[in-house]
Amino acid sequence: MPEVTAEKNEKIGEMNFGSIYPHYLNRIVKHGRTKEELDQVILWLTSYNQNTLESYIDGNGTFKDFFEGAKMHQNAHMIKGVVCGYRIEEISEEFALYRNCRRMEKLIDELAKGRKMEKILRKEK
């Protein structure tokens, strides 16, 4: 598995959220999902409201800003698996930004793959 480095963490942090969001949207729409579902997943993960999310979608902030301002869902630790070659649960606290980004991408992957919303939005058993 590839290593997360300070450079990778920094590079992802500098990317504008609004420049990447359309790629997430295109990906899930191709698989019959909606913007509302995508936003629901992101809002669940970050505890943002729709207005705050729309501000980021409009290009007001980087991924670093986005995740530093977010209050991550208490069940975010339940998001596990491999995204882009990285095992999410093995990404160290030192690279929390990178890990949170990969967690969000994992949820978006599951949405694109047709997973049911109640499975995507993790609940304690």
Domains and CATH numbers, the chain: 6-120 (1.10.8.290)
35 falls in which pLDDT band (50, 70, 90)?
very high
Mean pLDDT of 69-84: 95
How far, in Å, CA of 57 to CA of 21, rounded? Answer: 6
1 falls in which pLDDT band (50, 70, 90)?
confident
pLDDT at 57: 98
Mean pLDDT of 28-49: 98
pLDDT at 124: 83
pLDDT at 24: 98
How far, in Å, CA of 43 to CA of 46, rounded? Answer: 5
What does the mean pLDDT of the chain come to? 96
How far, in Å, CA of 16 to CA of 69, rounded? Answer: 14
